């Protein structure tokens, strides 16, 4: 896995400084920032003054933000392996539907993931482009939009699911509205795209 400790150290210091400034202004500003991230998985993720909290990530580029969201290690690794991150960093606004590690484990065997990341990067890139929209959309804006088109050309229906959003027929946001420097990240519970499920197939490299 990629080593990012120097970047994390810098972000931790930035986060601490930002929180000190916030504390000196009002008692509610931090609460408003934290309240912007919502969903059942959010409680398991960094918050408050912890490194990687939503306030600290709001000014970070997509590659750094993904590194700090601890349930996205597979998605982050796939993004780096696909060489898609430079393209995303160059866009003025993006929405990233980021499947959790559990979502990847439910769909792909470890051998299949290795095959995609090492030997079949074109297919991997196509899969990941199915998780990115070329404009920044909050959870509320997603729910109002009704549908979105991803970078691979797929049109996904978006519907309300209690306080969350259902993306396509299977995925649902589980921690939504992470702000990043040029957009939003919404953690989802299902991998989008058309590759067949290979979880539980052992050493099957097919996809």
Considering the entire predicted model, what is its pTM?
0.81
Phi, psi of 146 (to 5 degrees): 85, -35
- Asked whether the CA dihedral 130, 97, 99, 192 is positive or negative, the reply is negative
What do you get for the CA distance between the two ends of the chain, in Å?
A: 23
Please name which of 188, 183, 187, 206 lies closest in space to residue 196, comparing C-alpha atoms. Answer: 206
Task: Provide the CB-side half-sphere exposure for 110 (13 A, CA).
Answer: 1
pLDDT per residue as tens digits for the range 55-96: 999 999 999 999 999 999 999 999 999 999 999 999 999 999
Structural domains in the chain, CATH included, are 39-188 (2.30.180.10)
Does the pLDDT at position 30 exceed 50?
no
């Amino acid at each position: 896995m990629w080593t990012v400790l120097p970047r994390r150290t810098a972000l931790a210091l930035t986060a601490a400084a930002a929180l000190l400034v916030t504390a000196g202004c009002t008692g509610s500003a931090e609460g408003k920032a934290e309240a912007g991230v919502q969903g059942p998985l959010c409680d398991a993720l960094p918050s408050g003054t912890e490194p990687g909290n939503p306030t600290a990530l709001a000014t970070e580029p997509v590659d750094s933000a993904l590194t700090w969201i601890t349930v996205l290690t597979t998605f982050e690794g796939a993004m780096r392996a696909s060489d898609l991150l430079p393209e995303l960093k160059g866009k003025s606004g993006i929405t990233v539907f980021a499947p959790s590690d559990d979502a990847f484990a439910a769909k792909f065997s470890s051998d299949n993931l290795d095959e995609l990341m090492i030997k079949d990067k074109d297919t991997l890139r196509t899969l990941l482009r199915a998780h990115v929209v070329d404009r920044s959309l909050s959870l509320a804006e997603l729910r109002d939009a009704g549908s979105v088109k991803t970078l691979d050309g797929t049109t996904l229906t978006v519907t309300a699911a209690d306080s969350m959003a259902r993306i396509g027929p299977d995925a649902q946001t589980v921690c939504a509205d992470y702000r990043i420097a040029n957009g939003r990240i919404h953690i989802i519970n299902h991998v989008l795209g058309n590759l067949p499920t290979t979880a539980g197939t052992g050493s099957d490299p097919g996809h």
